[in-house]
Amino acid sequence: MLKTRFTEMFGVDHPIVQGGMQWVGRAELVAAVANAGALGFITALTQPTPEDLVKEIAKCKGLTDKPFGVNLTILPALKPPPYAEYRQAIIESGVKIAETAGYKPQEHVNHFKEHGIKVIHKCTAVRHALSAERMGVDAISIDGFECAGHPGEDDIPGLILIPAAADKVKIPMIASGGFGDARGLVAALALGAEGVNMGTRFMCTKESAIHQKVKEQIVANDERATDLIFRTLHNTARVAKNAVSQEVVAIEKKGGAKIEDIAHLVAGARGRVVYEAGDPDHGIWSAGMVQGLIYDIPSCQELVTRMVSEAEAIIKTRLNRMAGMSVAQAAE
């Protein structure tokens, strides 16, 4: 069994995390991840109201007695959701782990910590990780350029970002972006992380509530099947490549695009229809480059067990054998 500072701190068996995902992070998936010995997160803002979030947390508690958390992503908006009310719903529901992401989380971090809730903050740059560490979070999730969703504006891939962050961040850190199998898990540990966070890979499991056709599309896609949108708006997002994302990219390439020019294409309601109705070309939906490493639709238990057992095998056989060869060569 792979034990790290992260597994010890958060009381889970395996250094694997299913982070928050809009329209995807629901009770059935989170409970399945938890029951597999990993750490899953309900996505707070997927629920229409704080009251609905309370119900979703209760539903998850009815499906597992293992640790799980709730993600609260804070983004600037003309009409922001009632973040404080969602935060209070998390606290009053007795959740002990929160994942924060986005814009100026200090208020939320402080309130969570006052109630004994451990906080993981998701960020895309070393400077942001250090800022979150100063805020008092318990762990960092560092997102490389390969990730689905928002990779930041620095375009630093995980092979550089993870060790760069590990050199400076003192609290436990999990690696996110491009992870989907045992090889990635071992690599992340070697680079200085204490575990991995996976989004797209957990989307493509039996317990994920998205439509089967979307899961099959993820399996069919390769590592090139993503687009970067909102580049010209300095709010880059990596999404699955489809007819809609290509139209957005074309509009941005013309120059001078404003959000009003593409709002009808990128509306969240259209993305939700993708997941619910199974039409991958209906709207924008998040998926990472790791699609190129996804070949099946296992249960969460099968996925986690396979990753951990194969990771242990890589460490015990391939790496130890290589180390042994080096020792023998040195002795000659």
Same domain? For 91 and 111 the reply is: yes
Half-sphere exposure of 29 (CA within 13 A, CB side): 28
Same domain? For 183 and 58 the reply is: yes
Q: Give me the numbers of helices (H) and strands (E) for the chain, helices first please.
A: 15, 10
User: Residue 62 falls within a domain, yes or no?
Assistant: yes
**pLDDT at position 327 over 60:** no
Same domain? For 263 and 153 the reply is: no
Nearest one of 147, 294, 278 to 221, comparing CA atoms: 294
**pLDDT at position 1 over 60:** yes
User: Residue 219 falls within a domain, yes or no?
Assistant: no
Same domain? For 191 and 279 the reply is: no
Same domain? For 190 and 241 the reply is: no
| Residues 110, 111, 114, 116, Cα dihedral to 10° | -100
- Mean pLDDT, the chain, as a whole number? 95
Same domain? For 186 and 263 the reply is: no
Tally the domains of the chain. 2
CATH number, position 309: 3.20.20.70
What's the pLDDT tens digit per position in 308-321? 999 999 999 887 77
Which domain, by its residues, includes 252?
Answer: 226-286
**Higher confidence at residue 202 or residue 78?**
202
What's the pLDDT tens digit per position in 235-262? 999 999 999 999 999 999 999 899 999 9
- Position 273 scores a pLDDT of 95
Its pTM stands at 0.95
**pLDDT at position 325 over 70:** no
pLDDT band per the 50, 70, 90 thresholds, residue 331: low
Same domain? For 117 and 249 the reply is: no
User: Residue 329 falls within a domain, yes or no?
Assistant: no
Same domain? For 179 and 59 the reply is: yes
Same domain? For 268 and 306 the reply is: no
User: Residue 325 falls within a domain, yes or no?
Assistant: no
User: Residue 323 falls within a domain, yes or no?
Assistant: no
- Position 40 scores a pLDDT of 98
The residues, ordered by sequence, that sit 6+ positions from 109 with a Cβ below 8 Å of its Cβ are: 100, 119, 121, 132, 135, 136, 137
- Position 319 scores a pLDDT of 76
User: Residue 263 falls within a domain, yes or no?
Assistant: yes
